[in-house]
A = this chain, B = another copy of it.
Amino acid sequence: MKNIDPEWNNFRNIGDGGDGFPSDMQYSIKFHGKNEVIFRQGDLCDALNILMTGSVKTEMITENGNLMGIEIINAPRPLAPAFLFSGNNRFPVDVTTLEEVEVLRIPKDEVIRLMTTQPEFMQQFLTHNANRTQFLTNRLQLLSIKTIKGKIAHFLLEQAGEQGDTFTLNRNQTELADFFGVARPSLARSLSEMIEEGIIAVNKKKYTILDKKKLRELLV
């Protein structure tokens, strides 16, 4: 799975004067070896840390939507940017390197200064956090639905909103089960029953909504 936040790509060149950022920006870059714990749960988060190269793992919710467990984060991406300004500004999980990494560190005060002086920086920061929030909210809605059929209904109705009543998913059944946080055979069983009841039709990764009304009733 890819793990891309396009809006952060500019930061590859941060501070080198090549992208409009001020050359007097205060920052530091740290290099870490493989399998090193670079942040521990509870560590104070008083700077914006951006993973510039390499990859790390954490235990937070994954970007591609799978449940908990381990999340692999690939550069370039900020590490827990939302916690920089939160009341309890501490890392919620351990962060461990998977290979040699390069981490750009911008102190909180400097981030605030950049935000006020560099509108683009601010926009990117805001957009990233906004997208993250939206993602989390959506994930939460999905997890709040208790039944598997309900999760399927929520997911399919969301897809149908963006596309038509027929669409192709880019996940197979196993990945979908992971995404929902349920067992694969259980998902298959629920899908079978919904097909049996004439609510949906499935052909490989192509899904068709046949009875939107019944689908909505499953959301309870």
Contacts of A138 in B (CB 8 A): 92
Distance in angstroms between the alpha carbons of A126 and B88 in the assembled complex: 13
Determine, out of A78-86, A97-105, A167-175, A190-198, the stretch whose residues face the partner at the interface: A78-86
Q: A136-B133, A140-B140, A143-B140 are in contact. Are A122 and B116 (CB under 8 A)?
A: yes
Q: How far is the CA of A146 from the CA of B146 in the complex (A)?
A: 10
Alpha-carbon gap, A143 to B123, bound state (A): 31
Which A84-122 residues sit within 8 Å CB-CB of chain B?
84-89, 92, 112, 115-117, 119, 122
Given contacts A122-B115, A143-B140, contact A134 B181 (CB under 8 A): no
- Kindly specify which of A13-21, A49-57, A60-68, A204-212 makes contact with the partner chain: A60-68
Q: Are A122 and B112 in contact (CB under 8 A)?
A: yes
A85-B144 in contact given A115-B115, A137-B60 (Cβ < 8 Å): no
Q: How far is the CA of A117 from the CA of B117 in the complex (A)?
A: 9
Would you call A141 an interface residue if the criterion is a C-beta within 8 Å of the partner chain's C-beta atoms? yes
Q: A129 and B122: CB pair below 8 A?
A: no
Closest B residue to A136 by beta carbon equals B136
Can you offer 22 A-B residue contacts whose CB atoms are under 8 A? A61-B141, A82-B133, A82-B134, A82-B137, A83-B134, A85-B123, A85-B127, A86-B130, A86-B134, A88-B134, A92-B134, A92-B141, A112-B122, A115-B115, A115-B116, A116-B119, A116-B122, A122-B122, A136-B137, A143-B143, A143-B144, A146-B181
Nearest 6 Cβ contacts at the A-B interface: A86-B130, A82-B133, A85-B130, A85-B126, A136-B136, A68-B144
Q: Apart from A68-B144, A86-B134, list 12 A-B contacts with CB within 8 A.
A: A61-B141, A82-B129, A82-B133, A82-B134, A83-B134, A87-B127, A87-B130, A87-B134, A92-B137, A92-B138, A115-B115, A132-B133
